[in-house]
Amino acid sequence: MAEYAEARSELPRVLPASSGPSHLQTVPALGSRQRSCNVSEHARLLAHVQPRRRLQSMMGLRSSPAAYIGSGCGRGALAAGRNGAAGEAVRAGGSAGRHPAAPDPADSPCTPLKKTDVREFQYRCAKLFFTLDNDILTTEQRQFYEDNGYLLIRKLVSDEDIERFRKEFIRICKKEVRVPGAMIMKNEALRSQYGQTESVVNKVQDFQENEELFRYCTLPQILKYVECFTGPNIMAMHTMLINKLPDSDKQTFLHPMHQDLHYFPFRPADRIVCSWTAMQRADENNGCLVVLPGTHTLPLKPHGYPEWEGKTNKLFHGILDYNEKSPKVHLVMEKGDTVFFHPLLIHGSGINKTSGFRKSISCHFASSDGHYIDVKNTTQADLEKELQEMVHKRYDMPALELKDIWTFRARVVQGERINL
């Protein structure tokens, strides 16, 4: 019983802080309800959970994307200590927060619990950190995002809206419309062959000043999901319309695996989300999104230009120590499908092996309650220098801090503009 006593003594470390009595802890449950749990009751339940399942719950092992929602609480059961030192150590891959194995139920003097009791324990202890209480996501959807760092919603954007975005993009390609502040990326080698057409333009970035494209960022069906991750005060921070060109024999438009937070000087990361909508079918043939489920729990990794032969696009940074053997999921999407994903989720896209295009439109949203950080002496320092050089060259302006660039182009889309 020594192990059982030790397990009980450890419990307060892994429960969330509460202003209530010391023997009670208020534990956020799935959905919007909260329940008060007696610590001794947790200890009794904990002692009857099989050691493997208990370790899974405490270490936040992720459920399989194929299973949609795994057994137990998955990442949500990070013992609710993620706000404390133990939780941070778990996130960083440390050993803090590990607990001794529970005794076998057969050796315990307590009455054996039913499977429903174990599930109740998991329900009470679940700490959903990457999503906020809402009436939009189902329990399964919310847990899936907690475990995997992304959520795919089918047919969220109408064909009519997508057609309007496509026509506006064509007008921009033909220079019929000027977009102040936007960066239009082109394959100059194709201009002599195709002229000013969509066959040349690979990306329109920062289209906040184009009201037609920016309408995507204000679509009610998009914002109702975004609010589940950011809260009610929402800023549109970064916008893109990507037109992945045919690239069968090159890697010109291959984006290496990366974390979007590498580009952002604002935090907290968990209150940032990307909305990425397919404007036509996206699959492995034309370079769909590729994600590494569960990597949103990792810290920000050092990024840089990949060691590829041939040309590498400006600012197409990738994770320097990326393991090519990491298990990936290709997100096959139809027109109008939208994926929401965390800024620390490792992702990228492949080569377009077809003779057509692969269009998508996206926006990174963030809570305006967030804050800017100084990236000097961080893994993002080189990025700031690169962006400063680009701004100086393009606009003949003195060097600006990274946060100044973002403050200038961010737009509020819902609620109040508070900090960002």
- Quickly list DSSP for 7-70: HHHHHHHHSPP-SS-TTEEEEEPSSS-EEEEEHHHHHHHHHHS-HHHHHHHHHTPPPPGGGSS-
pLDDT score recorded for residue 248: 55
Is pLDDT of 80 > 80?
no
Q: What mean pLDDT is predicted for residues 248-274?
A: 85
Is pLDDT of 223 > 90?
yes
Is pLDDT of 291 > 90?
yes
Picking from 7, 33, 15, 11, the residue whose alpha carbon sits closest to that of residue 104 is 7
Q: What mean pLDDT is predicted for residues 82-86?
A: 39
pLDDT score recorded for residue 145: 98
Cα–Cα distance measured from residue 290 to residue 348, given in angstroms and rounded to the nearest whole number: 5
Q: What mean pLDDT is predicted for residues 82-88?
A: 39
243 strand-pairing partners: 359
Q: What mean pLDDT is predicted for residues 289-306?
A: 93
Q: What mean pLDDT is predicted for residues 234-253?
A: 84
Q: State the pLDDT confidence band at 395, using cuts at 50, 70 and 90.
A: low
pLDDT score recorded for residue 206: 95
* Cβ contact 45:111 at 8 Å: no
Q: What mean pLDDT is predicted for residues 220-237?
A: 99
62 or 319: which carries more pLDDT confidence? 319
pLDDT score recorded for residue 209: 95
pLDDT score recorded for residue 329: 98
Q: State the pLDDT confidence band at 350, using cuts at 50, 70 and 90.
A: confident
Is the pTM here over 0.85, yes or no? no
pLDDT score recorded for residue 389: 75
In the block, residue with structure tokens 């906020």: 132
Q: State the pLDDT confidence band at 187, using cuts at 50, 70 and 90.
A: confident
Q: State the pLDDT confidence band at 127, using cuts at 50, 70 and 90.
A: confident
CA distances from 193 to 85, 202, 243, 251 (A): 59, 15, 18, 20
pLDDT score recorded for residue 316: 76
CA distances from 331 to 57, 62, 176, 287 (A): 28, 19, 34, 10
Among 68-72, 96-100, 110-114, top mean pLDDT goes to 110-114
| Least confident window among 26-30, 105-109, 367-371 | 26-30
Is pLDDT of 120 > 90?
no
Q: State the pLDDT confidence band at 63, using cuts at 50, 70 and 90.
A: very low
Is pLDDT of 34 > 80?
no
- For 84, phi then psi, to 5°, come to -105, -175
267 strand-pairing partners: 371
Tell which phi-psi region holds residue 266, choosing left (phi > 0), alpha (psi between -120 and 50) or beta.
Answer: beta
Domain range list for the chain:
2-131, 150-414
Picking from 362, 384, 416, 395, the residue whose alpha carbon sits closest to that of residue 238 is 362
Mean pLDDT of the chain: 75
Q: State the pLDDT confidence band at 185, using cuts at 50, 70 and 90.
A: confident
Is pLDDT of 324 > 50?
yes
Cα–Cα distance measured from residue 20 to residue 159, given in angstroms and rounded to the nearest whole number: 52
Distance, first Cα to last Cα, the chain: 53
- Find out if CATH 2.60.120.620 is the number for domain 150-414: yes
- For 177, phi then psi, to 5°, come to -130, 135
CA distances from 139 to 76, 153, 168, 219 (A): 12, 14, 38, 24
- Type of residue at 127: K
Is pLDDT of 37 > 50?
no
Spell out a b/e string for 239-278, using b for 16 or more CB atoms within 10 Å of the CB, else e: bbbbbbbbbeeebbbbbbbbbbbbbbbbbebbbbbbbbbb
Task: Please compute Rg for the chain using Cα positions.
Answer: 24
197 or 64: which carries more pLDDT confidence? 197
pLDDT score recorded for residue 89: 39
CA distances from 150 to 44, 71, 122, 275, 293 (A): 34, 18, 22, 10, 8
